[in-house]
Structure 1
Amino acid sequence: MKRLLFRRSAVGLALGALAATGLASVPSPAQAAVSNAWVNVYADVHDDAGGSCVATPTGSSPSDVAWSDNGLTVTHSYAETGTVTAPGNDVTTMSSSATSSVSSTPLGAAPATIKATGSVSASAVPNTPATVCDGHASASTDVDGDFVLPQPMWATVTVTGTGTGGAYTGGYVEIDLPDGSLYLQATKRSQGTVTALLPAGSVGVSVETWIDAYGGEAGRNTGSFAISANIDLQPVGAGSAVSGKGKAYAQFGARDCATGNISAAITKKAKKKAKQVLVKVNGAKVAKLKGKKLKKRTLVLPAAPGSAAEVTATIKLKNGKKVTVTRSYLACS
């Protein structure tokens, strides 16, 4: 059994349990659309004190709305208002609202991105500090969906939480796996990123927010909270975009995850105009080509499959100039 790997850089985020799990391939369709995918919003106002307090809420929360991994954005929202009254002109004015959105590119073996947001607000303000009632305004959002990964993939989850006021608030992103979960809790002032290697098989995603405002608790009468989540899925060994002005002289191809090695090629232009090509993997020299060696057009660059890799070629041109080309690769395991 290999451990589910993760890297994180987070401020104000709590990382939950991440269980060990296997990385063996699980039979599944080449393209697996999201299923059981819903956007839920909830808003409610009522009274918690009882007795002589009478609540007059309006409406009821709407049904869930379905979403899919078709690239389209689905948005769902709801708001509610009401009052709680008691004898002696004791009135608490209440309101709550919730809005959520989600979009996803096709989920399967190719790179994909899921974006979700949730925003809630609540207010329960009495007209007298001596209220005998306890008006309660609450709201929540929930984006859920299940899909199947046909192969292991790296998931980079970026979460931002913002909020105002003294009402109780919270939010989180959770990725459910057969043998564990990745859990990131967001607060009113938090931002962070976690990268985890997900095994092939079933995956569940949930992005939630909630808020509770109480008229009977000083300082807890109003507030708002919002969460923004971005889940980027990349195949193991995937390469970044190529950068640098040396792209015309050296090219870096795909990474072979069976060995960890990376393919490279020296172009015809380099043979004509380059004096030397120096190739490094993670800062270590792996090839130095000059003279007749520049005629060698293809290279295999060794790299440990369990580690990320950055390859760089520095090209010294015959005219004295120097250019570079760089590409980064995700780990294979």
Structure 2
Amino acid sequence: MTRSPRILACGGLAALLTGAVLASVPAPARAAGFAEAGVQVSANTSLWGGTCTKNAPSDSTNDGSPLVPNGPAVTSSTAITADYSPADASDRITNTAAISARTALTTSGGLPRSLTTTFSGSVTTTSTKPVSACRIHATARVNAGAVVALDRPTWVTLTSTSKGVGQVEAYLEDPDNGYRGIYSGNNDGTSSTRTLLRPGTYGVSVSATAERGIDRAFSGRTSGSITIGFAPAGSVEAAPSGSGTAYVGLPAARSCATHGATARLTTSKKRVKQLRSVSFTVDGRKVATVKGKRLTPGRAVNLPVADARPASITATAILKNGKKRTVTARYLACTG
């Protein structure tokens, strides 16, 4: 596989996003999107305890491939075995770590959307003794990283879901505010964090590891996913849905410039004639009602929305036959 010249040349997660990488980004800022994206696999073994000799080679591996936005997901895998014995030749222990992953990088409308890795791995240890005099460690890891340029205020969400042995990490490097990230080690569960980024250039990285340091027989697995997602401030987080979509259209994004959101009644004269009234709520508080002569096809309804928090907007259409139809959407905040 071909190694990406900068991202994949770095050996570890921290190195993947060093200031040197970001410093290499030329000014003025790049157009919005991903650059220098790649996937790296690595594996190594070590002796953690005991005076022991390696029985067989277990050379470290380090290989990578480029990651193309909206291209096919990159499949990668690696495995390694630690094999040791002490002076007692009847005491032999092997520890194998393996991991495989599928990684994808996506954009939408020319803007960064997500970096996602889905992975599975295992650690298997055999020992001729109930407890070996050697404590050995094996690690198999998948890293993926990119430089991301943002041309507008953007929310970034780091999410990981994992179970079993090993570790997962997701990191963002802000050249002004350092590292922000999540870490989950040897446990089951989901971690998530979100922050609003100003326009600029950042480094992002995800990492999944299968590993164990052990001195006895063992078998374990790990699996999960890690995502770094991007969404412009004010954009829709949960798309409009519900039976009311036939009568009311909620916007694809709120307007951060006007501190509001614009909904529209259907352009269908037939459906408008079926309406008795349409009311709008923002986070459960009624902010507007349209009825009578104001019920016209395509009518715009401007709704006030507070900038500093996410907003849930619901339109409730009451039909002349007494039936109720609703449509709801949720939007990201405009400011942090």
Class of the TM-score when normalised by the shorter of the 2 chains: 0.7 to 0.9
- 1:62-211 aligned within 5 A: 62-81=62-81, 83-85=83-85, 86-106=87-107, 110=111, 112-129=113-130, 131-164=132-165, 169-178=166-175, 179-187=177-185, 188-211=187-210
Distance 1:107 1:246 in 2: 27
Instruction: State the TM-score, normalizing by the size of structure 2.
Output: 0.78
Match of 1:305 among 304, 307, 310: 307
Tell me, yes or no, if the aligned pair for 2:97 and 2:211 is still in contact at 8 Å: no
1:259 aligns with 258
Tell me, yes or no, if the aligned pair for 2:98 and 2:210 is still in contact at 8 Å: no
Between the aligned residues of both structures, percent identity stands at 33
Distance 2:83 2:169 in 1: 30
Across the two proteins, how many residue pairs are aligned to each other? 301
> 1:133 Cα shift?
3.4
- 1:4-23 aligned within 5 A: none
Between stretches 123-132 and 295-304, larger displacement belongs to 123-132
1:23 aligns with none
Tell me, yes or no, if the aligned pair for 1:27 and 1:150 is still in contact at 8 Å: no
CA distance 1:270–1:146, change in 2 (3 Å): same
SS at match of 2:245: coil
> 1:183 Cα shift?
1.3
Tell me, yes or no, if the aligned pair for 1:118 and 1:142 is still in contact at 8 Å: no
> 1:213 Cα shift?
3.2
Distance 1:263 1:28 in 2: 32
SS at match of 1:57: coil
1:255 maps to a residue whose letter is R
Q: Cα RMSD (Å) of the superposition?
A: 2.8
> 1:47 Cα shift?
4.3
**Which fold has the larger relative contact order, with Cα–Cα distance below 8 Å and residues 6 or more apart in sequence?**
1
SS at match of 1:70: coil
1:225 maps to a residue whose letter is T
> 1:309 Cα shift?
1.8
Q: Deviations over 1:114-167 (max 9, x none)?
A: 211344433443312464434433322222221111111122332111115xxx
Q: Deviations over 1:257-310 (max 9, x none)?
A: 112211122233454221122222222222222222224822211111222222
Distance 1:45 1:230 in 2: 28
1:241 aligns with 239
Instruction: State the TM-score, normalizing by the size of structure 1.
Output: 0.79
Tell me, yes or no, if the aligned pair for 1:47 and 1:55 is still in contact at 8 Å: no
> 1:40 Cα shift?
2.0
* Stretches of structure 1 lacking an aligned partner (at least 5 in a row): 1-25
* Stretches of structure 2 lacking an aligned partner (at least 5 in a row): 1-26
1:160 maps to a residue whose letter is T
SS at match of 1:69: coil
